[in-house]
Chains A and B, each alone.
Chain A
Amino acid sequence: MKYIDEFRDGKLARGLAQAIRAEAKPERRYNFMEFCGGHTHAISRYGIEGLLPPNLLMIHGPGCPVCVLPIGRVDSAIDLALHRDVTLCTYGDVMRVPASGQMSLMKAKARGADVRMVYSTLDALRIARDEPGREVVFFAIGFETTTPPTAVAIKQAHAQGLANFSVFCNHVLTPAAIANILESPEVRKLGTVPLDGFVGPAHVSTVIGSQPYEFFAEEYQKPVVIAGFEPLDVMQAILMLVRQVNEGRAEVENEFSRAVTPEGNEKAKALVAEVFELRRSFEWRGLGEVPYSALRIKEAYRAFDAEIRFDLGYHAVADAKGCECGAILRGVKRPEDCKLFGTVCTPENPIGSCMVSSEGACAAHYTYGRFDDRAARKAG
């Protein structure tokens, strides 16, 4: 068992595709949202949409941390790197996120700012240890998967007395975003699509478990199937959702049982609870201000909070003109509906955040899906 090839078997995929087509009732529509960028990527890369019946639509959700990070927060990070003489460490995906004035951290680096791409929070800690004369800031973004590693780094910095290390915390929470898509009046006003169910996050759920989704299933009567990121996992989850809808059920089911338990990872959750607390509100690109949807560093560790150390304020900034990222993140529009898609906005030169990370709906569609569009146009 290698846990990869087994879950990409073509023969099994054909069987699952047949079962989905056979069981989806032609007289109704099925709109399912895959929350996670990881699923969006898998659906595009493996051509899963092409295997689904025409009345079953996969809507790409806002579960791509780079895509939902508002411009204002990236501006703050660029300001730190360019004007405050700090060494700014961050994950590779963040480097190319477009910010105000056509800037990005990559361009800040080209202008001489000390921006370093790291693979792990441990690398950022090592830089702080090796260069005690430099202020080292870790620009932390991501959902519940990347939060525990940031908590470990803050605890280690605390234990080792690393006074030149701090964290610019932008960690966000999955359940808050799902609730927002389902109920927020602002999001309703901006427009949403009717949803019949969710493909629940894979790796986020290894940490938080399957329990946090019980609320959505019960309160909003929406089925949730937690699925792994391999193509067979996604197809199995779609089939399980179709069955729930057909049988009038709204339950949390766990397809990714090889890694997800009801409780999740207790050790990781305890670390996060020790280091972080809820923010009253946080701006998401596409969703606007979402109450209690992000984390900040607790009082006990405030010495490592870059927002306090460098007195960072927050200024909301509007998206680039013509960019449809906001509507795409709510599932109202699809990448091919955006005028900028594939013309001025490409993965090499992203205008909107959805084109940056390979998990972004636009980047995934640009890399894999747009060839289907062309084929369809030719055929039509």
Chain B
Amino acid sequence: MDITALTLSAAAQGIRERAFSISDLVGAYLDAIAEKDGAIHAYLDVFEDAREAALEADKKIAVAHPLDIETLPPLFGMPIAVKDNILVEGKQATAGSKILEHYTASYDATAIRKLKEQGAIVLGKTNMDDSAMGSSTEYSAFGPTKNPHDLTRVPGGSSGGSAAAVAAGMAIASLGSDTGGSIRQPAAFCGVVGMKPTYGAISRHGLIAMASSMDVIGPLAKTITDAEMLFSAIAGPDAFDATASPVKHSMFDKDMKRLRIGIPKEYFGAGLDAEVEKAVRGTIQKAEKAGAQVEEITLPHAHLALPAYYIIVPSEVSANLARLDGQRYGHHAAYADTLYDVYARSRDEGFGIEVKRRIMLGAYALSAGYYDAYYLKAQKVRRLIADDFIKVFERVDIIAGPTTPAPAFPLGSRSNSPLEMYLADIYTVAVNLAGLPALSMPAGTSATGLPIGLQLIAPRHADKKLFDIAKRIESLV
């Protein structure tokens, strides 16, 4: 039996039944990484010390009373991959950027601390677009990740390494971060489940900040149940992040006949690939056949989500990334004579092109004379976009549509065209602007075998309800 084929929940059960050891499991994943990652490049750093952690965990199980084994935390001994913008103490945290190439984390992110408290084992750090800006992982300063389903195509991004690692059987589950689709879009491209929680559901403490009003950590996994296990382990309030909120006890335990699904007409317009439309509509029809009520809804400001996003995010980026100054940590330019030169040269040498583009755009939007026209206007439009969702959720439980307009695109096809790259996130950014929970789940494949993702969007704080509904739909696919 190939134990890397097991889901997280099945592997957790296997360990409790002593069908295999944690060392077997962790070893199988490290072996899979050694065998496959040369071609895929999902990892920036692999933790060989995971074997020792596994041995320690096995010792605990060996001496444990059967009753103690039943009460082990759900993620005990589970090998998890972590995006390289989430801090793991004593390990590198590059955020995919040259500016943090030699940076070592001095503390654990809250999400990591909670994983470790459960006894989960971190397998390594995964590749990503520079500073989490990008939709293909091609902007990584350390080379692109390849899509495991087709090595000539991108895995999506920015959490491309985390998605590819799960898709290729190189991690049982992983953590990513999502500011505009960076968990859901690569999950769709790689054929795995990826969940973006309600803003604040998971502490951002120890997540390298990009756009703080939208950044959120979330799980990528093989199944909805697995993603929920990971979410539940790391969610909740945190003294280190005042925006971190308690998980609300929302749920959907009703008959499928009482499930109301809204289909936004704006997400099925021009630009949507025919195969994606067919697969997504087909999955929704299965839910309808199972009794769900499906109705067309409208999000009138949907077309303004990307424009608002590309003012608000660069503005927050330009402020947030000012802390990378070549002075206290990160890349430091040699041959800089003045303090100004230390700042300006370190930053020019350290940041990748997309990061510089966004810093420039943000600095422009926030500069004297332009603030009202760009930043303030975008924040007002953000309110209109959020209100569109609030209105729709008076009538439906969940919104369903495509995660991306098309399946994974070929490597190199968009990396020189920023606007084309931005369009890969056209259905995902509005959710971040509104702060809602959403997930992408597999909904079939194209004729050439490329995965297609179905996106489900739920009201704020209805993360648990989102998982419940997704599980119902998953069982129909």
B is bound to A: no
Binding site for B on A (CB under 8 A): none
